[in-house]
Structure 1
C-alpha cells in the first residue's frame, strides 16, 4: 500500500451534520479521527430545518441538546400553512409532529432550526481535527487499513491519510460511493429545484399567521430566521442562467403583491431519492445522504443520517478497542438499510402528494374553480410509525415472537421467553430499535455494552441515563420505553 502522511483510526469524509455528529460521537468513545470537508467552510445555506426527537436524544447524549434548544426557532416555526398565494388565506394547515411538543416516550422534544445554525454547535462539540477545503480523490484499501489520497484546495498540494476505517458522509453525490462502485435503487432524481434566498417585507401577510413553511401553488416560502430573511423553493426553470430571480419571486408572491424581493443567493440542486445497494465495502462505510438520499418533504433526511452514525460509531469503537468482533460492523447495514428503504418510501409519498396538491391547485386557479385542493399530510399520521422493534444480533429475538399489528406509535415487541440478562432499550430513528446486552460474548461475537468495558474509553453518563435500571421484556408484558433513556 502507498505510504501516508497522517494516520488516524477513522477518517470522516464530509463535514455536514452527519459527519460532524460522527466526529463528536467517536471522540466520546476515545477514537482518533480526522474530518475532511471539500468546501472551504460550513454550509452558509439554511437547508435542513427539522431536528426530530430522536436526533435530540442523540444530541442530549453529547451534552448539546440544551444549546440547540436554546438556539431553536419559536414554536410557530413548527407549523405548515397551505395557501394559493402567500397573501391569501390558508386552505389547510398542519403541525410538524414532535417539534416543540413533548412526546411521552422521550425526555426531549424536537425543534425547528436551520442547518447553518446547527452545524457550528456540532463543530464545537468535539476537539478532533477538521480540515476544510480538503477533497478526497481516491481510496486504496488493504487488509488492515485504508489509505485516502486527498487534495488541499486552500493551501495547495496533496496528502495521504491512513485510517483503520473510513466513514463517508459526503452527500448524495458521494465520491466515496462512486469510487467503491456501489449502485443505488429508487426513483433517482425526482426534481431539479432552485432555492432563492431573499429579503422582503412580508409581515403584512405572515406576521399574524406565522409558520415555518408556506406551501403555495407557485412554490414554497420559508422564513429563514426569527429576525428575518426568506427562501423561495421552486422548480428550476429551463434556462436558469438568464432568469430574473427577483421578478420570479415577486410573481410567485401573487398578483397585486407589490413587493420587490432583494435576492441574496441562488442555489440550484437536485432532489434525489435513492438507497445505496450496499452501505459499505470492507473498511469503508457510508452514512447519511451517501447511503440514502431522501426528498426534503417531512424533514427525514438529516435525521435519518444522524441515527445512522449513532448506530455505527459505538460499533467502530468496539471493534477498534477489541471488545467486539469485526462482524459487529456487518450489523450496521443489516439494521439501517431497512430503515432507509422505509423512510424513502415515506418521503417519496410525501413529495408526490405535495407536488400533486400544488399542481392541482394551479389548475384550479387557472380555471377559476373555488374549491381548494385536498391536501393529505402523511408525515403527521405516520411519524410515530417510524419507531418499532426489529431483530438485532446484539439481542436475538426468541424463536417464536408474538406478532403485533402495524404500530401507529413506537412499540416494543412481546417476547415468549424470559430475558437472559438486563438490557438497555434504545429507541432509534426508523424501525431501528435494539435491546443491547450488558456483557460481551466469550467468543468475541457481536455485542453492545451499554457502558465501555474495563480498559476502554467511552462516553460518561448524562443525568440518570446510565444509572437507572431499564425494563426488559417478559413473557407476561411487552417491554415499554423508559422515562429516561440514552
Structure 2
C-alpha cells in the first residue's frame, strides 16, 4: 500500500464509516476504509436505527435487509420497572419505530449494532483493511499524506488521499492530531456492558420492549433469536463476579441462570467538536459529536453526517461541483449536532432521575404501584421533530423568503422550505417522493416539459413529474418546481415558473 493514491480514506469501521463507504461507492467514488480493530465490533452498542436512517438505507437498497434482521415493531417501546420481573411503572413507544407514521415511507427498527454492521459491510466492494490504524497525516495543496500502521506487526505504509473522512469514534485519533477541541459536558459517566445469555421469556415475552430501564441498570434483548445485554454504572472494583452482579440486577423474583459472554467498560461522553473540518479532513459520527445513548440519537446523527458529506465529496471529485461546496458541511451539520446533544443529555438526565427516584422510594419502603410521578412528559422519546425536522442554512441552499420554523424536537410539520428534508408523499403505489432521489439532483414539478426548457446546468439532474394534486404538498403551483439535493434536502423552490432560464 506504500504511496498508494486513493480518492477518499475513511478512518473507522463502525456504522458511520461503513455507511460512508456504501454512499461513496454508490456515487462511483473509490475509497479505502481502515479500522484499527481486527474485525467488526462484537458488542451490541447502538440499539436503534431511526426512521431517517432507514430512509437513507432504503435509498441504498438496504432497508429490507436491515428490517429482516431486526426485532419486530412490537419491540419499539421502552419500559420502566423497579426490576425486570416487576410490572411497568412507566412505558413509552418510540415514535416512528413502534408503528408507521404518515410522514415517512419507512419505519425505524430496534436492532443491535453488531447485527447492522455486517449488512453495511456487504453494501460495497471497495477495500477495507482491518487491524490498521492511522498514526500520522499531513495535508498539502493536492491531498493528505497518511501514515498507517499494522497493529499486528507494526509495519508502516503511506497512502495519499484527496480527502480524509474520520469516523474513528469519540476518542478520535484524527481529531487529536488536528488539535480540534470539544465543547459540552464531556465524560458524564463510566458504564459497563455485560452481554449474557439467560432464559427471560417468562418475564418479558408478554410485554416486549427494546429496552427495560430498572432501578439496577438497563436490560436490552439483543437479537430476535436470543441474547441479552445489561448496561449499568461501572463498578469501582473490576474484579467482580459478573454473573452474580447481573443476577442481582435482575431482581429477587427472577431465578434464571446467567451465562456471561462478553464484558465491555466504556465512557459515556457528551460533547461536540469545535470544528468538523480542517482543510481536506472531515470529522463525522462520534469523532464529531459523542452523545449519551439514551434515545438512540448518536449513531443516527453520524449516518446523517455522511449522508450530507458524501454527495458533496462526489461532486467535487467528479468535477460537477466546486470545492467550495465542501465548505457547507460544517455549517449544516454543526447546529444539528448541538441540537442532538441537548436532547440526548436531557434524555440521560430524565432516565437517571427516574431510576434514582424509584430506587430511593424502594429503599424507603414508600413505593406503591401507580404512585410514582414520572419525571418526563408524555413527549419523552417522541423525537420525530429532531429526526425528520432538521433544516439547513448554507451556501448550498437558496432561500425563498419563507420564515424559518421554530425548532421542535417532539413535533414535525412536513414542509418544502429550502433547507428542509423533502416531504414524503406517495407518487404511485409503493413509490415515495423520497424514492425519486438518487445520485443526482431532482426537479419535482407538475410541468416537466416547461422545466426541461428553463434549466441550464452541468449538474447531474433528473426531472420528476408530480401527479395531479401533489404540487400543493410542496408549496408550489402548477408551473412551479422544487429542486432537491442528492441528500433529500430541498435546495431551492420556485412557487411559480420564473421568467427566463434558470441556471443551476
Give 1:437 shift.
6.8
Using a 3 Å threshold, how does the CA distance of structure 1 residues 158 and 191 change in structure 2: closer, same or farther? Answer: same
Using a 3 Å threshold, how does the CA distance of structure 1 residues 247 and 11 change in structure 2: closer, same or farther? Answer: same
Give 1:319 shift.
0.9
Q: Work out whether residues 81 and 211 of structure 1, in 8 Å CA contact, stay in contact via their aligned partners in 2.
A: yes
Matched, 1:412 2:420: no
CA distance in 2, matches of 1:55, 1:403: 24
Using a 3 Å threshold, how does the CA distance of structure 1 residues 427 and 157 change in structure 2: closer, same or farther? Answer: farther
CA distance in 2, matches of 1:46, 1:467: 41
Using a 3 Å threshold, how does the CA distance of structure 1 residues 303 and 405 change in structure 2: closer, same or farther? Answer: closer
Using a 3 Å threshold, how does the CA distance of structure 1 residues 161 and 203 change in structure 2: closer, same or farther? Answer: same
CA distance in 1, matches of 2:119, 2:392: 32
Match in the other structure for 2:392: 390
CA distance in 2, matches of 1:479, 1:38: 47
Instruction: Tell which deviates more after alignment, 202-211 or 26-35.
Output: 202-211
Q: Deviations over 1:244-302 (max 9, x none)?
A: 11111111111243333111111000000000000010000000000000110000011
Q: How does 1:78-93 map to 2 (within 5 A)?
A: 78-93=76-91
Give 1:372 shift.
2.6
Using a 3 Å threshold, how does the CA distance of structure 1 residues 260 and 62 change in structure 2: closer, same or farther? Answer: same
Q: How does 1:375-454 map to 2 (within 5 A)?
A: 375-376=375-376, 378-386=379-387, 387-398=389-400, 400-402=401-403, 404-407=405-408, 408-412=411-415, 426=422
Question: Which residue of 61, 64, 77 maps to 1:63?
Answer: 61
Using a 3 Å threshold, how does the CA distance of structure 1 residues 385 and 131 change in structure 2: closer, same or farther? Answer: closer
Q: Work out whether residues 80 and 211 of structure 1, in 8 Å CA contact, stay in contact via their aligned partners in 2.
A: yes
CA distance in 2, matches of 1:154, 1:172: 23
Q: Work out whether residues 414 and 475 of structure 1, in 8 Å CA contact, stay in contact via their aligned partners in 2.
A: no
Match in the other structure for 2:126: 128
Q: Work out whether residues 92 and 375 of structure 1, in 8 Å CA contact, stay in contact via their aligned partners in 2.
A: no
Match in the other structure for 2:159: 161
Match in the other structure for 2:292: 295
Q: How does 1:85-124 map to 2 (within 5 A)?
A: 85-124=83-122
Equivalent position SS for 1:47: coil
Equivalent position SS for 2:137: strand
Match in the other structure for 1:213: 211
CA distance in 2, matches of 1:110, 1:238: 36
Match in the other structure for 1:321: 318
Give 1:225 shift.
1.3
Using a 3 Å threshold, how does the CA distance of structure 1 residues 13 and 380 change in structure 2: closer, same or farther? Answer: same
Q: Work out whether residues 81 and 89 of structure 2, in 8 Å CA contact, stay in contact via their aligned partners in 1.
A: yes
Match in the other structure for 2:359: 362
Give 1:375 shift.
4.0
Give 1:111 shift.
1.1
Q: How does 1:335-354 map to 2 (within 5 A)?
A: 335-354=332-351
Q: Work out whether residues 441 and 459 of structure 2, in 8 Å CA contact, stay in contact via their aligned partners in 1.
A: no
Using a 3 Å threshold, how does the CA distance of structure 1 residues 425 and 51 change in structure 2: closer, same or farther? Answer: closer
TM-score (norm 1): 0.85
Q: Work out whether residues 232 and 249 of structure 1, in 8 Å CA contact, stay in contact via their aligned partners in 2.
A: yes
Q: Deviations over 1:440-475 (max 9, x none)?
A: xxxxxxxxxxxxx8797x9xx9xxxx7444855449
Using a 3 Å threshold, how does the CA distance of structure 1 residues 163 and 235 change in structure 2: closer, same or farther? Answer: same
Using a 3 Å threshold, how does the CA distance of structure 1 residues 283 and 406 change in structure 2: closer, same or farther? Answer: closer
Give 1:479 shift.
9.9
Match in the other structure for 1:309: 306
Q: Deviations over 1:292-347 (max 9, x none)?
A: 00110000011000010000000001111111111111100000000000010000
Q: Work out whether residues 288 and 304 of structure 1, in 8 Å CA contact, stay in contact via their aligned partners in 2.
A: yes
Give 1:60 shift.
1.2
Count matched residues. Answer: 446
Q: Work out whether residues 336 and 390 of structure 2, in 8 Å CA contact, stay in contact via their aligned partners in 1.
A: no
Give 1:118 shift.
0.8
Equivalent position SS for 2:363: helix
CA distance in 2, matches of 1:199, 1:54: 32
CA distance in 1, matches of 2:102, 2:269: 34
Using a 3 Å threshold, how does the CA distance of structure 1 residues 22 and 238 change in structure 2: closer, same or farther? Answer: same
Give 1:109 shift.
1.4
Question: Which residue of 224, 227, 233 maps to 2:225?
Answer: 227
Match in the other structure for 2:49: 51
Instruction: Tell which deviates more after alignment, 318-327 or 11-20.
Output: 318-327
CA distance in 2, matches of 1:342, 1:204: 40
- TM-align CA RMSD: 2.9
Equivalent position SS for 1:194: strand
Match in the other structure for 1:284: 281
Q: Work out whether residues 360 and 373 of structure 1, in 8 Å CA contact, stay in contact via their aligned partners in 2.
A: no
Question: Which residue of 265, 269, 293 maps to 2:266?
Answer: 269
Give 1:374 shift.
1.4
Q: Work out whether residues 361 and 373 of structure 1, in 8 Å CA contact, stay in contact via their aligned partners in 2.
A: no
Give 1:239 shift.
1.5
Give 1:204 shift.
2.0
